[in-house]
Amino acid sequence: MKLKKNKHRIKKVMILGITMFFIGIYLSFQYLENNISIKLNDSYENFLLDREYSNNTVIHSFSNIISNKKLVPYQEEKKDKASPIIYIYNTHQTEEYSSNDLFSFRPNVTMVDYILESTFESREYETLVEERSIKEILNANSWNYAASYLASRIYLEDVIKTYPTLQYFIDVHRDSLPHEKTTITIKDKEFAKLLFIVGLENENYQANLDFTYKIHNKLEEKYPNLSKGILQKSGVGVNGVYNQDFSPYTILVEVGGEENTTYEVLNATKAFAECFLEVVNESQN
């Protein structure tokens, strides 16, 4: 009888212990979600590089947090920025990539922003990532999705007033082609292909075109065929400007497509960042 009671007591303790374990995990995730600043810092960047991206679950989980990060007022989020020279934004913030792990989420193009920011700032190029919502601007003005470039223009005009030191502007998108057309293998690594777009219907188009060609040519030198080239757009039915009249250094880059994995996008983003900074450094010298 005593043995049965002991077994029953042990069983209760085990059930209680397992329950507390899972509660602890749940509360830990809640704390991380609500209290940790979501930003790709140098330590995380080094972790990815050291592991050669082998732990894709960690990368994807991090991407999920970024893609669902609450957008906050610009002035509150970026008080720590002094004199940024690079501004990264997404006219189409909700463009997503593949869900390719055990989780159901799909990381979006904002993931690229934070990888770029981390890379640039590790090389002492102060960078600003736009985190305010494009959708809020569209809703406030009763605009539809086609007016997204008008919405991002509002943020461009606003940010330059606060930070006149900004010189370079990168609008990150992704393509919608199938995986086989947006992926390339270079030295045994999978990359999401890059595509640049330049609108020809603005006064800065030649300067933007020249600057974009320098980046494309640098990519060709270091990562052959990673860049699919520069798509020059004008005429009826296209934007033709893409806010590139705002500055002669306004880049519109498509990083991969909707079927690309986080691993492929990460490799491509690092390659783009490397070549972009080399061009910037050369132009400044």
* Per-residue confidence (pLDDT) for residue 9, from 0 to 100: 61
Do 67 and 265 form a contact (C-beta atoms < 8 A)?
no
136 with 207, same domain: the answer is yes
Unique residue bearing structure tokens 């070549």: 275
**Residues 160 and 275 placed together within one structural domain of the fold:** yes
Mean pLDDT of the chain: 79
Alpha helices in the chain (DSSP H): 2-35, 42-50, 56-67, 74-77, 110-122, 134-140, 148-162, 205-222, 262-284
For 236-251, what is the mean pLDDT?
92
Alpha carbons 229 and 274: distance in angstroms, whole number: 17
In one-letter notation, the amino acid at residue 173 is H
C-alpha span between 171 and 89 (Å, rounded): 5
In a shared domain, residues 31 and 20:
yes
Same domain, 55 and 150: yes
Task: Mark whether 68 and 197 lie in a shared domain.
Answer: yes
Q: Are residues 68 and 174 in the same domain?
A: yes
Domain shared by 13 and 102, yes or no: no
Can you give the CATH number for the domain in which 277 is found? 3.40.630
Whether this model's pTM surpasses 0.95? no
Give 81's pLDDT tier (boundaries 50, 70, 90). Answer: confident
Say whether both 135 and 222 belong to one domain: yes
Q: Compute the average pLDDT of residues 241-260.
A: 95
Q: State which residues form the domain around 12.
A: 1-36
Say yes or no: 225 and 123 in one domain.
yes
Residues 114 and 214 in one domain: yes
Domain count, the chain: 2
Same domain, 122 and 59: yes
Q: Which residue has the tokens 């991969």?
A: 256
